[in-house]
Chains A and B, each alone.
Chain A
């Protein structure tokens, strides 16, 4: 077990004007799970691209030793031949093809171009058994959940005789159950002698599985921690990542809770696509001024759907129930009306639903309230620039100017632009759907601070999150959802990871 399978020495990679990697060293032993952590933009993904040959040998400085030989990969297939397989955060599966077709895509079992389906299916079945996925090889990718899709990716890696498996944020979009299953699988593979590198922001998961943790900050290696020699706390890792102690991951707040702002009563919604299936049942909740209210639940519990169905009926069908603001019934039947009623919905999917990526910060900031910087349909460029500049300063959006395109911003800064857009509509209640998904620890803290400030200004915040510590750290009250119902309402004192999970499990038994 003491073989070094991979050693990257002094890797330096420069892009025009910026040093993305600066003398990075990484040493991975055979048969271990090696975690790679660091803030967004620290250089983790770049390092893995160097390793896999996406950036071919010669475009970087330094040496890659794999199996005790210097390797110069020039394409991805070079590294794949030696068993180095990367599974990217955005899965590379073809939605309308079957599991079997995806697994052997580009690598088909065929003679003279004619596919041997019998063997394809039986090989697929073997691979699916190995990863513990109970779906027929003929199932289409689009018909299985994201957690299972992740398993298909892993099965695909196994089909290529993987020796070093690299997973980039494998659990970012998985719920807790699926994440656990995936991590168990990794540990199972470790027993069989496979080596993995896992890139993740979820420190609790890393603690669970990793043998070693290498921390990267600003393109350089900070340190490698050995989890077997000492007990490594999450705070210890964070300290390495941000280069300072983080006293508290959640900024403190004195809640000043006022009158009820938003009240949703008897909210029933049918599924957007399966039109005869009721998806949300009798949802009732309130949000008060100055209050941060959380919605916890597993993926698929109906949290996002609840939010979107309220926000201008942008999800679902046959929607019934009442939405009240300040105790008065309001019309939220279209998005403009919901905005007028004082609602804002900050989406969980900022790239697809939140931002116009090829537009600049300024255009994104004013998009939802363009009339406020225009008169008679004509935009006042200077007024618009001022608004964007103000929000850029206020939310500390790191960019060279308000004219930078959103696509070039880091995840945290993109999220701040989406927040700017909704703050500019001056809402009374903000619905934040996974506001810190995929953004780094430092930026998370800033987002929490913004949330606190908004609450202090008397706005109501409804926060949907899959990270329970985040809900517990920021919310005054937490609703728990499961299978389209609100199954519990917990005060700050009552809420804990256990009480939330208990509520979910118990409701699961009832139905």
Chain B
């Protein structure tokens, strides 16, 4: 009632709009501030091309798993087993590639399917037997860690064939080297062209969406915010793209990650499946009574998580060039933290892909920055814990105030 009346009386000013969407803009601003902070504290090392490349390689798998975890958290569940699935699928891929000598074009899809099956095995208990996900995936965490030790017989397996390694350590070649205007500084012109083209496309589609919305009378965010947000994102993207282009260009995983982010953003914002997951997380009973097959939907969010964890498992194995039984220990916590820092609600129904990605990047930049500064794992854990608490407190505080 209060909200109805206040909104009828006043058209929201820019300040009001900022306050009511403070979570989204705040997150972006926090990322930029943290980046600048570490750029300063590390004496400029953070944004060096080689370090940016490292940042991407080190965090791609966290981002990729955060996409699946976000869906699970929005659906009102949790998955503690992803770290173990990472080790398990990494181990399976190593056995198939190294011991059995199977080609990676068969191993990669096969491992994704196996990851899906692992997810299905857990999703079944959560969705159809109604056992809390916390318990099922805690069990899964132990079971799949145990299985990893079993199949690897407690020993790391490696090295991998070169082509499989390039999944994670390779770079997109410079297709446009002949057009390079500054061969001295820019070593991969293609990546620069792609990033500029993407930024241009994003601005074009953003503007077109606004126009469409106006035509149909749908609400738009104030132009100042649209422009500001676009400027920050474009600026950061072009800067990072330029830095990368002076080194080896785009790592392959960046492309994989980028495509997945785009796909999952689309699923969560535009598809019926995404909408139903949000509805289910917001009120499962109401969703069920609206004809949504909530069991099946829950089941598939876990299958999806398993596939993404398998992909992450292979990327990590390829990056380390060996599958070890200890791979991925504690990753589930980083992934879950990324989602919560990104504004997902522990009670379900709330959360955004962009939030989870930015959350993962915030964690990644902090890890990387503190490592460069020479802070030990002790301080890193401490700071990450406090940042998680602060981010969630910020959410709760905003909610109570509003």
Contacts and interface: CB of A to CB of B under 8 A. Distances in A.
Nearest to A356: B282
B9 A354 contact: no
Interface string B274-293: 01101100110111111111
A358 B282 contact: yes
Contacts of B350: 358
A314 interface: yes
Which of B217, B218, B273, B349 counts the most chain A CB atoms within 10 A? B218
5 contacts: A352-B285, A352-B286, A357-B283, A400-B7, A404-B3
Given A17-B10, A20-B2, A400-B4, A335 B289 contact: yes
A367 B288 contact: no
Contact of B291 (A335, A381, A408): A335
Interface string A321-353: 000000000000011101100000101000011
Contacts of B7: 17, 400-401, 404
A382 interface: yes
Nearest to A359: B282
Interface size class, chain A: 35 or more
B219 A370 contact: no
A493 interface: no
Nearest to A418: B286
Contacts of B5: 17-18
B2 A18 contact: yes
Contacts of B286: 352-356, 367
A421 interface: yes
Nearest to B402: A16
B289 to A, nearest CB: 6
Contacts of A352: 283, 285-286
Nearest to A42: B1
Contact of A379 (B217, B219, B271): B271
Contacts of A399: 4
A352 B293 CA distance: 17
B6 interface: yes
B289 A353 contact: yes
A409 interface: yes
A16 B217 CA distance: 27
A172 B12 CA distance: 37
Interface size class, chain B: 35 or more
B216 A368 contact: no
A470 B291 CA distance: 29
A496 interface: no
B290 A359 contact: no
Interface in A362-376: 363, 367-368, 370-371, 374
B272 interface: yes
Contacts of A354: 286, 289
A17 B13 CA distance: 13
Contacts of B288: 314, 335
A363 B216 CA distance: 17
A345 B285 CA distance: 13
Nearest to B8: A400
Contact of B272 (A18, A345, A374, A382): A374
B212 interface: yes
Which of A335, A367, A370, A386 counts the most chain B CB atoms within 10 A? A367
Given A352-B286, A367-B279, A409-B4, 19 more contacts: A17-B2, A17-B5, A17-B10, A18-B1, A18-B5, A356-B279, A356-B349, A359-B278, A359-B282, A367-B275, A367-B286, A367-B287, A370-B275, A379-B271, A382-B212, A385-B218, A400-B4, A408-B1, A410-B1
Contacts of B270: 378-379, 381
A353 B282 contact: no
A106 interface: no
A405 B402 CA distance: 13
A20 B218 CA distance: 30
A392 B356 CA distance: 33
Contact of B3 (A345, A371, A408, A425): A408
A356 B287 contact: yes
Interface in A414-430: 421, 425
Contacts of B349: 356, 358-359
Contacts of B273: 377
Contacts of A357: 282-283
A373 B43 CA distance: 53
Nearest to B348: A358
Interface string B188-225: 00000000000000000000000010001111000000
Which of A314, A363, A381, A386 counts the most chain B CB atoms within 10 A? A381
The 5 A-B pairs at the shortest CB distance, nearest first, are namely: A17-B6, A400-B7, A356-B282, A368-B290, A18-B5
Interface string B211-254: 01000111100000000000000000000000000000000000
A398 interface: yes
Nearest to A339: B291
Contact of A347 (B2, B287, B289, B292): B289
A421 B283 CA distance: 15
Nearest to B12: A400
A53 to B, nearest CB: 19
A393 to B, nearest CB: 12
A16 B7 CA distance: 10
Contacts of A374: 271-272
Contacts of A404: 3-4, 7
A117 interface: no
B1 A41 contact: yes
A55 to B, nearest CB: 13
Which of B2, B212, B278 counts the most chain A CB atoms within 10 A? B2
Contact of A421 (B212, B278, B290, B293): B290
B401 to A, nearest CB: 10
Contacts of B282: 356-359
A352 B286 CA distance: 7
A367 B2 contact: no
Nearest to A355: B286
A386 B218 CA distance: 9
Which of B1, B271, B288 counts the most chain A CB atoms within 10 A? B1
Which of B7, B8, B282 counts the most chain A CB atoms within 10 A? B282
Contact of B271 (A20, A378, A398): A378
Contact of B6 (A16, A355, A368, A403): A16
Nearest to B218: A385
Contacts of A421: 290
Nearest to B273: A377
A403 B7 CA distance: 12
Nearest to B266: A378
A410 B4 CA distance: 9
Interface string A386-402: 10010000000011110
A386 B283 CA distance: 24
B293 to A, nearest CB: 7
B58 to A, nearest CB: 34
Nearest to B279: A356
